[in-house]
Amino acid sequence: MQQSAQEVWPALPLAAWQDTYATLHMWTQIIGKTRLAVAPMQNHWWQVALYLTPQGLTTSAMPLGSRSFAVDLNFVDHLLVIRTSEGAIRALPLVERSVAEFYREYRSLLRALELPVKIWPVPVEVETAIPFLDDETHTSYDPDAANRCWRVLLQADRILKEFRGRFLGKSSPVHFFWGSFDLAATRFSGRPAPRHPGGAPNCPDYVMEEAYSQECSSAGFWPGSPALPEPVFYAYAYPTPAGFDQRPVRPSAAYFHEALGEFVLPYDAVRTATSPDAMVLDFLQMTYEAAADLGRWDRAALERPA
């Protein structure tokens, strides 16, 4: 069934759903930490990310000994669902409840399925890291807002995958990082990067050192924060080459955010554009070219011929 433009690119003003956003951020951290606990290490922490599905987010299959299981967040029927390789299924309704209650109920489901997972029970990459079992602060869940966020992520995922296909060099999957609550895709020059200084709140420096161990150009979608109170597509480079912030990029709505150190394209400019896909792809291409040209990447070897 054909969707209208408003359904494909729904409004997502941060102020209207920030309480649900904060709660959902903690819930995705709990799910993501499950993946961190059991998935074998990969470069740049790729093994911890979540992925878009036709109904929400998933861990994808995770090994546990000879068994396998997956955890899905369904934003259509508003359920958390755990499935095991033996065919067992357990579900938890996504409703207004504290993070502490969500965590207790989730651990109960894992025990019922005999999935002994040791989760580090404290969030990361947030200024105030309340242990999950103590978090009675975040309790909101607006099903409509959660659904709209997922629908925006679904469109961003689709476009980022198209952009990823243009690159022959090393590139990440398009994946959702629960620490920062953003969807990202990263390209690499093939050269090592200087050690990252770290500094992410409530996050050991070695995490960022591994994440940025090689020169990269990264882009994605982020719902925003107090530092940038609107949803945006973003793009940055590490290390940041000289002149990156002065490089002209399209479309005209895009700009370099000094405090964040990256280019941003407001989501509202995208959702009201005549061709949202073309606008985002233009932004992704222009910001990548800024990183690659100024960083002296071997573009001829790394890019798929048009």
Percent of the chain surpassing pLDDT 70: 98
Cα–Cα distance measured from residue 190 to residue 75, given in angstroms and rounded to the nearest whole number? 37
* Last residue within a domain, chosen from 90, 114, 134: 134
pLDDT of residue 306: 81
Strand-pairing partners, residue 171, are 187
* Residue carrying the six token digits 């861990």: 59
User: Would the pLDDT of 2 be above 70?
Assistant: no
Which tokens hold the place of 34? 């499950």
The answer to whether 240 and 261 have CB atoms below 8 angstroms apart is: yes
Q: Please check whether residue 221 lies inside any domain of the structure.
A: yes
pLDDT digits (tens, 9 = 90+) for 256-289: 999 999 999 999 999 999 999 999 999 999 999 9
Q: What is the pLDDT of residue 3?
A: 64
Pair (285, 212) in one structural domain: yes
Does residue 2 lie within any of the structural domains? no
- How far is Cα 6 from Cα 240, in angstroms, rounded to an integer? 36
- Residue 4: predicted pLDDT: 59
Q: Could you read off the pLDDT of 33-80 as tens digits, one per residue?
A: 999 999 999 999 999 999 999 999 999 999 999 999 999 999 999 999
Give 1's pLDDT tier (boundaries 50, 70, 90). Answer: low
Boundary of a domain, candidates 134, 157, 178 = 134
Number of structural domains (the chain) is 2
Question: Which residue segment(s) compose the domain that 198 sits in?
Answer: 143-302
99 and 200 assigned to the same domain:
no
Tens of pLDDT, residues 172-203: 999 999 999 999 999 999 999 999 999 999 99
222 SS3 class: strand
Pairing state between β 56-58 and 67-74: antiparallel
- pLDDT higher than threshold 80 for residue 5: no
Same domain, 295 and 155: yes
Host H or E run for residue 83? strand 79-84
pLDDT averaged over the chain? 97
- In this structure, the answer to whether residues 159 and 294 fall within a common structural domain is yes
Percent of the chain with pLDDT over 90: 97
Q: Is residue 1 part of a domain?
A: no
Write the DSSP symbol of residue 70.
E
What is the amino acid identity at position 297?
W
